[in-house]
Amino acid sequence: MSKPTTLEIPVKGMDCTECTRHVQQAISALPGITSVNVLLAAEKAIVQLNPDQVDLPAIRKAVTGAGDYTVPEMVEAKTPSPRTLSMAAFNRRVGLLLGGVFAVILSIVILGEWLGLFDILNTLVPFPIGVVIVLVGGWPVFRNVIRATFRRQVISHTLMTLGVFAALAVGQWVTAAIVVIFMRVGDYVENFTTEGARRAVKELTALAPQTARVERDGLEIELPVTQVNIGEIVIVRPGEKIPVDGEVISGQATIDQAAITGESMPVEAAAGSHVFAAAIARLGSLRVQTRQVGLDTTFGRVVKMVEEAEANRADVQRFADKFSAYYLPIVAGIALLTFLISRDPLATAAVLVVACSCSIALATPVAMLASIGQSARRGLLIKGGKYLETLTQVDVVLVDKTGTLTLGKPQITDIIPLNGLTSAEVLALTASAERFSEHPLAEAVRVAAAGQKLSLHEPRDFEAVPGLGVRATINGSRVTVGNRRLIPAAKSLPTAHQLEAQGKTLLFVACDDEPAAVLAAADTVRSDIPEALAALKEQGVEHVELLTGDNERTAAALAQKLGIRYQANLLPENKIEVVKAYQAKGHTVMMIGDGVNDAPALAQADIGIAMGAAGTDIAIEAAHIALMREDWMLVPELFAIARRTMGIVKMNLAMTAVYNVAGLTLAAFGFLPPVLAAAAQSLPDLGIMANSARLLRQEEGFRGKSKVQP
Q: Dump pLDDT digits (tens) for 289-348.
A: 999 998 788 777 666 655 655 454 434 345 555 665 677 778 888 888 888 888 877 777
Report the side by side order of strands in the sheet with 565-567. 380-382, 625-627, 607-611, 589-593, 396-399, 543-547, 565-567
Residue of 529, 501, 565 whose CA lies nearest to 406: 529
pLDDT of 604 > 80? The answer is: yes
Q: Closest Cα partner for 413 from 528, 492, 495, 505?
A: 505
Strand ranges inside 237-318, DSSP E: 245-256, 267-269, 274-275, 280-292
Residue, of 194 and 134, whose pLDDT is higher: 134
Tell me which of 197 and 297 has the higher pLDDT: 297
Which of the residues 15, 245, 256, 400 is marked catalytic? 400
Q: Beta partners for 9? A: 45
pLDDT at 547: 92
pLDDT over 80 (residue 261)? no
β 245-256/280-292 pair status: antiparallel
At residue 356 the predicted structure's pLDDT band, cuts being 50, 70 and 90, is low
Cα(129)–Cα(35) distance, rounded to whole angstroms? 47
Q: Which range is least confidently modeled, 139-143, 295-299, 583-587?
A: 295-299
> Is 400 labeled as catalytic in the residue annotation?
yes
Q: What is the pLDDT of residues 125-138, one digit of tens each?
A: 888 998 999 899 88
Instruction: For the chain, list the domains and their CATH numbers.
Output: 5-65 (3.30.70.100), 89-189+316-373+641-696 (no CATH), 229-292 (2.70.150.10), 381-406+526-638 (3.40.50.1000), 407-524 (3.40.1110.10)
- pLDDT per residue over 652-671, tens digit each? 888 887 887 888 888 888 88
Mean model confidence pLDDT for the chain: 78
703 pLDDT higher than 50: no
Q: What is the pLDDT of residues 67-82, one digit of tens each?
A: 778 888 754 434 334 3
Is the pLDDT at 236 greater than 90? The verdict is: yes
- pLDDT above 50 (res 212): yes
User: Mean pLDDT, to the nearest integer, of 567-577?
Assistant: 87
pLDDT of residue 512 exceeding 70, the answer is yes
Radius of gyration of the CA atoms of the chain, in A: 31
- Region 30-42: mean pLDDT is 81
pLDDT for the residue 421? 87
Q: What is the pLDDT of residue 583?
A: 95
Task: Write the DSSP symbol of residue 436.
Answer: T
Distances in Å between the Cα of 54 and the Cα atoms of 29, 59, 227 are 11, 8, 31
CA 306 to chain centre: 10
- Which residues, in sequence order, are CB contacts of 521 under 8 Å at separation 6+? 265, 410, 411, 412, 413, 441, 444, 504, 505, 506, 507
Contact present, 461 and 429 (Cβ < 8 Å): no
* C-alpha distance from residue 61 to each of 37, 67, 228, 400 (Å): 18, 11, 37, 45
| Number of Cβ within a 10 Å radius of residue 366 | 28
pLDDT for residue 83 is more than 80: no
- The whole-number average pLDDT for the span 497-513 is 84
Judged by average pLDDT, the poorest of 172-186, 555-569, 696-710 is 696-710
Evaluate whether 63 touches 71 at the Cβ level (below 8 Å): yes
pLDDT exceeding 90 applies to what percent of the chain? 19
Residues 91-97: contacts with CB under 8 Å, at least 24 apart: 91/376, 91/381, 91/626, 91/628, 93/192, 94/192, 94/193, 94/376, 94/381, 95/373, 95/376, 95/377, 97/189, 97/192
pLDDT at 523: 82
Question: Rounded to whole angstroms, what are the CA distances from 684 to 113, 317, 440?
Answer: 12, 23, 61
Contact indicator for 431, 451 with CB cutoff of 8 Å: no
pTM of the model: 0.61
Is the model more confident about 488 or about 232? Answer: 232
Q: What is the rounded CA–CA span in Å between residue 156 and residue 613? A: 36
Three-state secondary structure call for residue 459: coil
Residue 271 has pLDDT above 50, yes or no: yes
Residues 350, 181: contact at Cβ < 8 Å?
A: no
